[in-house]
Amino acid sequence: MRRQPLVTLTTDIGSAYAAQMKAVLARRLPPGSVVDLAHDLRPHAVGEAAFLLRAMAVGFPPGTVHVAVIDPGVGGSRAPIAIGCADGSRLVGPDNGVLMPLAEALGRPRVFRIDRARLGSIGRVGTTFDGRDLFAPAAALLATGTRPARLGPPHRPVRYAVPVPELTATRAVGEVVHADRFGNLVTNVPTAWLPDDVRSVGVALGTGRSRRLPLARSYVELGTGHLGVLGSSFGLLELAVAEGSAARRLRANVGSPVRFERLRRA
């Protein structure tokens, strides 16, 4: 028996619009098929959403259908796309880069431009809410066996500029790619850039001088109220205040440039 795949939803549109997508899916899929990942992502923050979508969705079972609606370009010229990946997972969303880090992590993405006409009566015409009118219908079809190639012609996706850190033996220049609800600032510098045995690191926001901050294994080791650097659960260096907010302390946010420096006497 082939198990019915799950459909995950990741959006910045809030619960009330997302509910309208669930209605479309509920008409076609068995109970329990839809999994909410997040509907409260920072509005229009395509880069942060791409980062989070990869982290959230990559662990789901092969064959899952992942829908992402962070879509400031809705109604414009950006294409709606469906992607088939090596493990049988399918992705649906706008061609603005939000799907690509996940697609590449899932392997060998084949991208198709969704043709609204091929969605049949389940699709709707509209210019402001493709989540309901186009992406949810496409996801319902994919979850019930339609192949991505049946939704439209092959498409060359826009690749969103994922911020890549500059790494040398002594310096890493990157930026904040995610601020979580605790105020932890996750950067794009891999934790593995630092040797295991260092206990402190130089950190600068922007172009200023760096200051020495402790490198801790956990918030507890950092100590309540103290600012430091941790290896985050994303495998990336994170600035954190234990039981506090690094975002507030440092007045930094997604996009803030960060520089790490290895120190002599670590």
Which residues, 175 to 194, sit near a copy of itself by CB under 8 A?
A: 180-182
Task: Name which of 35 and 266 has its Cβ closer to a copy of itself.
Answer: 35
Task: Work out which of 89, 103, 119, 132 binds a copy of itself, going by CB under 8 A.
Answer: 132
CB of 229 to a copy of itself, least distance (A): 12
Nearer to a copy of itself, 79 or 173 (CB): 79
Min CB(6)–a copy of itself separation in Å:
6
Query: With binding defined as CB under 8 A, does residue 44 bind a copy of itself?
Result: yes
By CB under 8 A, tell whether 35 contacts a copy of itself.
yes
Query: What's the half-sphere exposure (Cβ side, CA atoms, 13 Å) at 154?
Result: 3
Please say which residue, 73 or 257, places its beta carbon nearer to a copy of itself.
73
Least CB distance to a copy of itself at residue 170 (A): 26
Counting every residue written for the chain, the total comes to: 266
| CB of 204 closer than 8 Å to CB of 212 | no
Binding range to a copy of itself, per CB under 8 A, among 22-30, 159-167, 198-206, 256-264: 22-30
Q: Please give the residues from 74 up to 103 whose contact with a copy of itself meets the rule CB under 8 A.
A: 74-77
Question: Applying CB under 8 A, what is the total number of residues that bind a copy of itself?
Answer: 67
- Nearer to a copy of itself by C-beta: 41 or 250? 41
Shortest Å distance, C-beta 28 to a copy of itself: 9
Phi, psi of 214, rounded to the nearest 5 degrees: -70, 145
Rounded distance between C-alpha atoms, residue 175 and residue 25, angstroms:
37
Q: Name the nearest CA neighbour of 259 among 187, 191, 192, 196.
A: 187
Pattern 229-248, a copy of itself, x by CB under 8 A: -xxxx----x---xx-----
CA atoms within 13 A on the CB side of 198: 23
Distance CA 201, CA 222 (A): 13
Helix (H, G, I), strand (E, B) or coil at 202: strand
Residue 221 binds to a copy of itself (criterion: CB under 8 A): yes
Helices H / strands E in the chain, number of each: 7, 14
Q: Which helix (H) or strand (E) holds 247?
A: helix 246-250
Contact between 170 and a copy of itself per CB under 8 A? no
CA distance 29 to 22: 10
DSSP assignment letter at 41: P
Given candidates 86, 87, 88, 128, which one binds a copy of itself under the rule CB under 8 A? 128
Contact 184, 239 (CB under 8 A): yes
Where do the H-state alpha helices sit in 64-209?
A: 100-106, 130, 136-143
Binding site for a copy of itself (CB under 8 A): 3-4, 6, 8, 10, 13-17, 19-20, 22-24, 26-27, 30-41, 43-44, 52, 55-61, 64, 72-77, 126-129, 132-133, 180-182, 217-221, 230-233, 238, 242-243
